[in-house]
Amino acid sequence: MQVPPQVTFRHMEPSDSAEQQIRRHIAELEQFYPRITACHVVLDADHRHHRQGKLFHVRVEVSTPGQVIVVGRDPAEHHAHEDAHVAIRDAFNAARRQLEDHARRARGDQKTHEAPLIGRISQIFPDRGYAFLVTETGEDVYVHRNSVTNAGFEKLRVGDQVRYVLSPDLGDKGAQASTVVPLHA
C-alpha cells in the first residue's frame, strides 16, 4: 500500500480491539488485491438513537489504480450493528465483494451465457419411458422421461424441436440430456 492505512474513530473513544480487527481486515483485502494504494476506515458511534443504544456506522474507502471503492454500512438497516465488531465485519465483507467485482472487470472477465442447445426428437419409446433427440451436429442424445420439463414426455412427438442441457456424465446409452424443454406451442 502506497499510503499507510488510516483508522478514525468518531463520537467514541478509540478501541484497540476494533482497530486490530480493522487492520486485520485491511491486510486481508491487500492480500487478496495487492494493488490497493490507500485505505481509510471511519468507525462512528451514532449517538442519536437513544432508545436502541449506540449504533455503529462504518465507512471503508479503498483506493486502487483507476477506482475508489466506498462502502458505508448504515446501522438503520441492521440492529446487529449495536456491536462495533459486527458492523466492521459486515462493512469489510461488502468491501471485499466490491473489490472482487473490480478485480474481475480489471482482468476483463465477463460472465458469458452459452447459447441454448437445440435439437429435434428423433425416436420415442413411450412404453420404456425414454426418447432420443438429434443435435444440430447430428449426434443422438438420450432423453429420460423425467428430464422433460412440466411432465411433457407424453406430449412429445417425433420431429418436435426442443431446447436441452447435456448432462456432464455419459449414461449407458451415451450422451444424455439432463433437462429438455419442448419448444412447440
Contact 94, 128 (CB under 8 A): no
Could you give the angle at which helices 84-107 and 16-32 cross, rounded to 10 degrees?
10
Rounded-to-integer distance, Cα 182 and Cα 120, Å: 9
Q: Which of 142, 98, 97 is nearest to 121 (CA)?
A: 142
Check residue 174 and give its pLDDT. 83
3-state secondary structure of 81: helix
pTM above 0.75, yes or no: no
More confident: 165 or 171: 165
> What are the pLDDT digits (tens) for 156-166?
999 999 999 98
Its sign, for the CA torsion 139, 143, 147, 149, is: positive
> What are the pLDDT digits (tens) for 103-129?
888 777 665 666 788 999 999 999 999
> What are the pLDDT digits (tens) for 140-157?
999 999 999 888 899 999
Q: How confident is the model at residue 73 (pLDDT cuts 50, 70, 90)?
A: low
Q: Which of 27, 184, 177 is nearest to 117 (CA)?
A: 177
Check residue 47 and give its pLDDT. 62
Go through the domains of the chain in sequence order and give each one's CATH number: 6-107 (3.30.160.100), 117-182 (2.40.50.140)
- Listed in order, strand segments (DSSP E) in 74-169 are 117-125, 130-135, 140-144, 161-166
Given a cut of 60, whether residue 4 has pLDDT beyond it is yes
Rounded-to-integer distance, Cα 181 and Cα 146, Å: 11
Residues of the chain with pLDDT > 90: what percent?
59
> What are the pLDDT digits (tens) for 40-68?
999 998 765 545 567 889 999 999 988 89
Given a cut of 60, whether residue 27 has pLDDT beyond it is yes
